[in-house]
């Protein structure tokens, strides 16, 4: 794993590169997403050894600051869902990932006083 980070009083942007078996890289990405917001990530096709390279760009924010009540706020939340097998047919395909994103965004938009919600699939790991 390698990482590069910018140092500033605002958000910190970090690039992380993971190389290894796909399942382990996915597991580590899930761990990273628990402590930072994943802005983007890309994964290579498996090489001759079956290993992939995944590069993610993350942002971490300093300790929360008070938010003025009159202006509203933007809150970033990453969640982990466990679903029954087959509920989102076609995962990890792009169309199925978009279906999951829409379903989660719709559920979040239904929360009281939420003006807009968006969602993005970060990783897919078998649970059990």
Residue pLDDT, tens place only, 76-126 = 777 777 777 777 777 777 787 788 888 999 999 999 989 888 888 777 766
Question: Does residue 8 sit in the same domain as residue 53?
Answer: yes
The span from the first CA to the last CA of the chain, in angstroms, equals: 27
Residue 72 lies in a domain: no
Residue 127 lies in a domain: no
pLDDT band at 6 (very low <50, low <70, confident <90, very high): very low
User: Which positions ≥6 away from 91 have C-beta within 8 Å?
Assistant: 97, 100, 124
pLDDT tens sequence across 38-73? 888 888 899 999 999 999 888 877 766 676 777 777
pLDDT of residue 77: 74
The tally of domains found in the chain comes to 2
**Residue labelled with tokens 């050894």:** 49
Using a 10 angstrom Cβ sphere, with 0-12 exposed, 13-18 middle and 19 or more buried, the burial of residue 88 is buried
Residue 74 lies in a domain: no
Of residues 46 and 35, the one with the higher pLDDT is 46
Question: Does residue 112 sit in the same domain as residue 58?
Answer: no
Eight-class DSSP state of 13:
E
CB-CB neighbours of 80 under 10 Å: 11
Q: What is the pTM of this model?
A: 0.49
Pairing state between β 2-5 and 12-20? antiparallel
Question: Does residue 56 sit in the same domain as residue 91?
Answer: no
15: containing domain: 1-62
**Average pLDDT taken over every residue of the chain:** 80
Question: Does residue 4 sit in the same domain as residue 40?
Answer: yes
CA atoms in the 13 A half-sphere facing the CB of 119:
19
């Amino acid at each position: 794993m390698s990482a590069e980070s910018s140092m500033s009083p605002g958000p910190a942007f970090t690039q992380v590169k993971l190389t290894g078996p796909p399942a382990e890289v996915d597991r580590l990405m899930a761990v990273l997403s628990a402590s930072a917001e994943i802005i983007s990530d890309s994964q290579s096709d498996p090489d001759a050894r079956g290993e992939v390279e995944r590069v993610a760009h993350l942002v971490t924010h300093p300790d929360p600051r008070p938010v003025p009540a009159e202006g509203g706020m933007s809150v970033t939340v990453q969640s982990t869902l466990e679903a029954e097998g087959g509920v989102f047919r076609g995962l990890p395909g792009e169309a199925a990932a978009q279906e999951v994103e829409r379903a989660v965004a719709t559920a979040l938009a239904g929360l009281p006083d939420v003006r807009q919600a968006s969602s993005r699939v970060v990783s897919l790991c078998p649970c059990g």
